[in-house]
Structure 1
């Protein structure tokens, strides 16, 4: 799952649904993703708030970071970015079901914690978490996508300062238009290039998304 915090906005709301038959205790874990010299993603440890003012924290906060969601219920958490947005930032946000404990700050008494554990022990229970990748766009977004059509390849270079998306990516036979590949989606970070390899008798197509602007692009072997 992917989400965006657009320029001009400081927070985004995420709704978490509990489709199970038991109350869910959910912990929200936020980790910034940076990229090393070879371009590989590195997830940083969760960052604790410092004594600096909130506007100088340069981090993404989840409020609340602990949720108690009843069976078949829903609760929302706000993902709020505090700090400089001179450049784009990336965060992995995980929503993790846990067994309540005093260390997790769910404000449950020891008796309530034990009662919940006993309830789970009496049934077959699967605690399943999920996550989302949040793109925090810079304050002044510039989209500058450069397309290069060559004999054997077609490249999409992101020369702007914010991520772009290649959506509904597919390859179809020139004559048998119903014979197509599985639809895919790719994200191209600033400074990166995504390259397609052309195939004989095939038409490649995708929808280029630059923020809310979209355009459909198709190409084939020349």
Structure 2
């Protein structure tokens, strides 16, 4: 009896320590004008099988630039679908899903993609090793959200950079998002610089990039497939 109890205790304690750990890679994905599909790889860095459901929501900006999300239906006619929409990722393994866009592309569109941990379905549990079947659905896994940018069919870039009274402004007059990558703000002696960041500038948006103490601004300006390094002294 004691031996049986010891074995069961070992199994359950081992499962308590084991858990899936998914990695979705970059948090931003971009579907260019000439593409209608995009492959996204999801890895499981943990030591237990991960069950992941993918949900989609369109991000819509109102007249004031405030974003709202509209959930896309899981069935029926949709402008964006994922295939498959449910992933079984073994420990240490990788699975891929494909985004397929079937909607109109008269303007740029934005989607929130969520990778949500779920309990395995009955037919999925039978595919697991016996030890994992015991704890299936018990492990807690953190979900992740990413953003997908879908460029318009006719993409036009027009980025304006303006220095006024020691302040740097960047304006996007095009119809597709531009990126200020590795954006750094430095003081006068450049002894103190901000942590490099990625800034997305949506169409029709103008942003003040510099701060009060900023004397140097540098970034990589990305417009679709074109990128150029820019540096400004204020």
TM-score of Structure 1 vs Structure 2, range by shorter chain: 0.7 to 0.9
Flag structure 1 segments of 5+ consecutive residues without an equivalent: none
TM-score under structure 1 length normalisation = 0.83
Aligned pairs for 1:76-155 (under 5 A) are 76-101=96-121, 107-108=123-124, 118-120=134-136, 125-155=139-169
Instruction: Say whether the 8 Å CA contact 1:91–1:133 is kept in structure 2.
Output: yes
Aligned residue pair count: 207
Q: Is 2:186 the partner of 1:160?
A: no
Distance in 1 of aligned mates of 2:198 and 2:137: 41
Distance in 1 of aligned mates of 2:54 and 2:137: 24
**Structure 1 residue matching 2:71: 3-state secondary structure:** coil
**Structure 1 residue matching 2:91: 3-state secondary structure:** coil
Instruction: Say whether the 8 Å CA contact 2:33–2:155 is kept in structure 1.
Output: yes
Query: What CA deviation, in whole Å up to 9, does each residue of 1:143-195 have, x standing for no partner?
Result: 011111111321111111100001111122333x3421111111010011111
Number of the residue aligned with 2:72:
46
Distance in 2 of aligned mates of 1:99 and 1:200: 51
Distance in 1 of aligned mates of 2:231 and 2:135: 56
Query: What CA deviation, in whole Å up to 9, does each residue of 1:3-42 have, x standing for no partner?
Result: 1000111111111111122111110111110012221110
Query: What CA deviation, in whole Å up to 9, does each residue of 1:94-126 have, x standing for no partner?
Result: 111111246xxxx447998xx85732588xx43
Q: Is 2:172 the partner of 1:172?
A: no
Number of the residue aligned with 2:60:
34
Following TM superposition, the consecutive aligned residue runs of length 4 or more in structure 1 with deviations greater than 3 angstroms are: 107-112, 115-118, 197-201
Change in CA separation of 1:37 and 1:200 when aligned onto 2, cut-off 3 Å: closer
Distance in 1 of aligned mates of 2:211 and 2:164: 9
TM-score under structure 2 length normalisation = 0.79
Number of the residue aligned with 1:67:
87
Distance in 2 of aligned mates of 1:29 and 1:205: 36
Distance in 1 of aligned mates of 2:160 and 2:141: 44
Number of the residue aligned with 2:9:
none
Shift of 1:88: 0.6
